Chain A
Amino acid sequence: AQSVAQPEDQVNVAEGNPLTVKCTYSVSGNPYLFWYVQYPNRGLQFLLKYITGDNLVKGSYGFEAEFNKSQTSFHLKKPSALVSDSALYFCAVRESGNTPLVFGKGTRLSVIA
């Protein structure tokens, strides 16, 4: 069965510093990986996805994520954090098959001015 783990409930980072939000996955086949962001009282917004090709994927708002097959990870990164990046971030995976995305528990990112 497919699953996603986000080991950190909360990540705090100072504005201007690089940020990393961690995600590891478990699938039996090739993974299709996604990151979403959720602002308060809103739905989820798609940030980026890895399907195939380059391991470094660039997405919205300056975010990027690196797919690492050997470590089964798909960490979200941004070189310079903004206060407006403060939100809840969800990693998700889908493996081969016509199934819904499986989401991690979410990581709350706080960027402090």
Chain B
Amino acid sequence: EADIYQTPRYLVIGTGKKITLECSQTMGHDKMYWYQQDPGMELHLIHYSYGVNSTEKGDLSSESTVSRIRTEHFPLTLESARPSHTSQYLCASSEVLAGGPGTRNEQFFGPGTRLTVL
């Protein structure tokens, strides 16, 4: 079944640890995104990718990094976690219709990873 997956769903970790949040999609989408969201609050775009070997920074300054080596995989890494990184991280993907403008397509979201840094 085509879907978008995020692991882990919940993570509690100590300050200074390196962590990687995983995001995979089986929909063959070219575009992928990472958003940061405090509980019940607005979404902030932190990274996105148009395809393999493409990564862009979003609107919110972030100390995280991303990579896009494979179409289906878009991991987000924090080299040294801090309490200020405590938040929910949402991954999304979308496709460009062949011949279409690319602006039409909705983004599909994963279930999110709730990160707590102690």
* A residues neighboring B (CB under 8 Å): 32, 34, 36, 41-46, 49, 51, 88, 90, 94-101, 103-106, 108
Beta-carbon contact of B90 and A44 below 8 Å: yes
B43 within 8 A of A: yes
CB distance from B70 to the nearest CB of A (A): 20
For A106, give its contact among B41, B102, B103, B114 (CB under 8 Å): B41
CB distance from A76 to the nearest CB of B (A): 15
For A44, the chain B residues whose CB sits under 8 A away are 43, 90, 92, 107, 109
* Given A42-B111, A44-B90, 20 new contacts (CB under 8 A): A34-B106, A41-B112, A41-B114, A43-B110, A43-B111, A44-B92, A49-B106, A51-B104, A90-B43, A96-B101, A98-B96, A98-B102, A98-B103, A99-B103, A100-B48, A101-B106, A104-B42, A105-B42, A106-B41, A106-B43
Known contacts A96-B103, A98-B103; A105 and B50 CB within 8 A of each other? no
Interchain CA distance A34-B110 in the complex, whole Å: 17
For A95, the chain B residues whose CB sits under 8 A away are 103
For B33, the chain A residues whose CB sits under 8 A away are 100
For A106, the chain B residues whose CB sits under 8 A away are 40-43
A-B contact pairs, 25 of them (CB 8 A): A32-B104, A34-B106, A41-B112, A43-B6, A43-B111, A43-B112, A44-B43, A44-B92, A44-B109, A49-B104, A88-B40, A95-B103, A96-B101, A97-B103, A98-B50, A99-B103, A100-B31, A100-B48, A100-B58, A101-B107, A104-B42, A105-B41, A106-B41, A106-B43, A108-B40
For A36, the chain B residues whose CB sits under 8 A away are 109
Interchain CA distance A106-B96 in the complex, whole Å: 26
Interchain CA distance A97-B50 in the complex, whole Å: 12
Across the interface, name the chain B residue whose C-beta is closest to A108: B40
Known contacts A43-B90, A44-B90, A106-B40; A100 and B107 CB within 8 A of each other? yes
CB distance from A33 to the nearest CB of B (A): 10
For A103, the chain B residues whose CB sits under 8 A away are 42-43
